[in-house]
Amino acid sequence: MNDPGKGFVLEDLVYSRKGVKFQPDAEVFLIRPDGEPVHRAATVGVGTVGRVFSAVKNAVQMDLELENYQVSSISSGPDAIAQCTAQVRLGTRVITGIGKDGDVVIASARAFVEAASMFLSGHAVIVGREIAI
């Protein structure tokens, strides 16, 4: 069983990039804090990252809104690591989730899941210390 303070865990992500005429697909496989697996496919979203956000939103069953999204490189070369920052709103609160991976779509999913987990736990981590939100 997961530590309840840890929130959701991204177990797997399946996505495809389609052609000009077809929408991309995205499916997320998460582990809930109680240890139960949850799988959701995207139903809406523009582009692959939009579909991934939709799938995460469906999986965590929260009315999340993506306020801001940024991608930057934190290394260089053919094995560069992407860092995705997602500001996510739930009601009146806005949390920033950060995800890193060699694949920008997976880094995006990690950022979305981190933000959802912070809303769930009621805590955010800022520069190595935990604060209540």
The model's pLDDT over 62-116, given as tens digits with 9 standing for 90+, comes to 999 999 999 999 998 888 999 999 999 998 889 999 999 999 999 999 999 999 9
Q: Kindly provide the b/e burial profile for residues 118-131, where b requires at least 16 CB atoms within 10 angstroms of the residue's own CB.
A: bbbbeebeeeeeee
Q: Rg of the chain over CA atoms, in angstroms?
A: 14
Going by C-alpha positions, the residue among 31, 30, 61, 26 that lies closest to residue 41 is 26
Give me the residue label for tokens 């389609």: 18
Tell me, what's the pLDDT at 108?
95
Q: Say if residues 41 and 51 touch (Cβ distance below 8 Å).
A: no
- Which tens digit of pLDDT belongs to each residue from 39-50? 877 767 778 888
Query: Which overall architecture, per CATH, does domain 4-123 show?
Result: 2-Layer Sandwich (3.30)
**Rounded Cα gap, residues 112 and 13, in angstroms:** 12
**Rounded Cα gap, residues 58 and 79, in angstroms:** 31
**Rounded Cα gap, residues 30 and 60, in angstroms:** 8
pLDDT band with cut points at 50, 70 and 90 for residue 21 = low
Q: Say if residues 95 and 133 touch (Cβ distance below 8 Å).
A: yes
pLDDT band with cut points at 50, 70 and 90 for residue 127 = very low
Calculate ∠ Cα 100-20-73, nearest 5°. 20
